[in-house]
């Protein structure tokens, strides 16, 4: 494609992911759906391999890894403006020396972005995570006031990017009842509450509140009283998001120089090859990537 045309039209790369899973099926269905924006060129990234549905191999894992590496090259060269990644199987990638907890961390390192965060957004709920792919037992030791503030600002920027003039962001506590004044741990008093105060002082363009009890805050968020929820750990945010928005949820990596999105589900080996996989989340992931690149100057 000529340089002139590349500047006129946005170009989105889409990886096939682990091909023993539903990745190729949902990519094909999404591209044929008629639900994607016009004026965008889509490039499928990844060499097809011969693999049985639901039976991943080292070859299929290698193809998934090579697609990820190729997507980085295309992003850095400007041949694509954003990437949408189909689900991968981390165990297979780890056998090949992939040392990242997930695709989020892979793109952050490869694109030289230390300030990044994992966010999921759907029709009813948007959440961002302070800690990501770590064991639950490690979460309290990893929480820091400065980390909560950092991710809170990235989430606020994302809300602004999506056209929310003054985002209302609820900050979850870590412990039951947000610690209940120290009755259930000190993290909420010692780290989360000071982080909320700092965000309120340093980010006047946004309304931060909390720490809120995690078991009740998602109801008012769904009812429209908040635009997003800042969560302390992976399942605290992903359980309500996937319960409410499984078919429309999108994973987006905040802070990257180029947009990266993905569906909110995994490889789904149990239905791979059946033709029954829903492409809804993939469609929404592509739509969000298109939305994000459309807002950047050509």
| pTM of the entire predicted model | 0.92
pLDDT tens per residue across span 8-42: 689 999 999 999 999 999 999 999 999 999 999 99
Largest CA distance in the chain: 64
The pLDDT score that the predictor gives to residue 183 is 83
Helix (H) or strand (E) holding 168: strand 168-172
Instruction: With a cut of 90, say whether residue 4 has pLDDT above it.
Output: no
Q: Which helix (H) or strand (E) holds 12?
A: strand 10-15
Average pLDDT over residues 258-264: 98
- What is the average per-residue pLDDT within 242-268? 97
CA dihedral of residues 191, 261, 165, 205 (deg, nearest 10): 30
- N-terminal to C-terminal alpha carbon distance within the chain: 16
What is the pLDDT of the chain when averaged over all its residues? 95
Mean pLDDT over 159-184 rounds to 93
Cβ 196 vs Cβ 232: under 8 Å: no
Q: What residue ranges define each of the domains in the chain, with the CATH number in brackets?
A: 1-113+257-297 (3.40.718.10), 115-255 (3.40.718.10)
Whether the CA torsion 33, 35, 41, 44 is positive or negative: it is: negative
pLDDT tens-digit readout, 229-250: 999 999 999 999 999 999 999 9
Provide the b/e sequence for 260-281 (b: ≥16 CB within 10 Å): bbbbbbebbbebbbeeebbbbb
pLDDT at 251: 98
Structure confidence at residue 180 (pLDDT): 83
3-state helix, strand, coil in the chain (%, to 5): 45, 15, 40
- Asked if pLDDT for residue 270 goes beyond 50, the answer is yes
């Amino acid at each position: 494609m000529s340089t002139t045309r590349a500047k006129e039209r946005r170009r989105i790369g889409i990886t096939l992911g682990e091909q023993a899973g539903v990745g190729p099926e949902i990519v094909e269905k999404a591209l044929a759906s008629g639900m994607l924006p016009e004026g965008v060129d889509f490039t499928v990234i990844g060499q097809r391999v011969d693999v049985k549905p639901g039976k991943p191999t080292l070859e299929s894992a290698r193809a998934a890894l090579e697609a990820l590496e190729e997507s980085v090259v295309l992003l850095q060269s400007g041949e694509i403006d954003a990437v949408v990644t189909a689900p991968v199987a981390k165990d297979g990638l780890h056998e090949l020396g992939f040392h990242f907890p997930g695709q989020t961390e892979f793109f952050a390192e490869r694109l030289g972005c230390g300030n990044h965060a994992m966010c999921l957004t759907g029709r009813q709920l948007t959440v961002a995570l302070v800690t990501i792919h770590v064991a639950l037992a490690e979460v309290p030791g990893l929480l820091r006031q400065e980390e909560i503030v950092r991710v809170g600002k990235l989430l606020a920027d994302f809300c602004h990017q999506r056209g929310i003039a003054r985002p209302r962001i609820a900050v979850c506590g870590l412990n039951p009842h947000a610690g209940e004044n120290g009755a259930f741990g000190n993290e909420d008093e010692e780290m989360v509450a000071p982080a909320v105060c700092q965000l309120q002082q340093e980010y006047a363009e946004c309304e931060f509140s909390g720490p809120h009890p995690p078991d009740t805050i998602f109801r008012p968020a769904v009812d429209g009283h908040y635009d997003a929820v800042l969560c302390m750990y992976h399942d605290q945010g992903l359980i309500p998001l996937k319960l409410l928005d499984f078919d429309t949820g999108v994973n987006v990596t905040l802070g990257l120089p180029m947009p990266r999105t993905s569906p909110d589900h995994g490889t789904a080996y149990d239905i791979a090859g059946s033709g029954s996989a829903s492409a809804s989340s993939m469609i929404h992931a592509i739509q969000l990537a298109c939305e994000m690149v459309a807002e950047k100057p050509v």
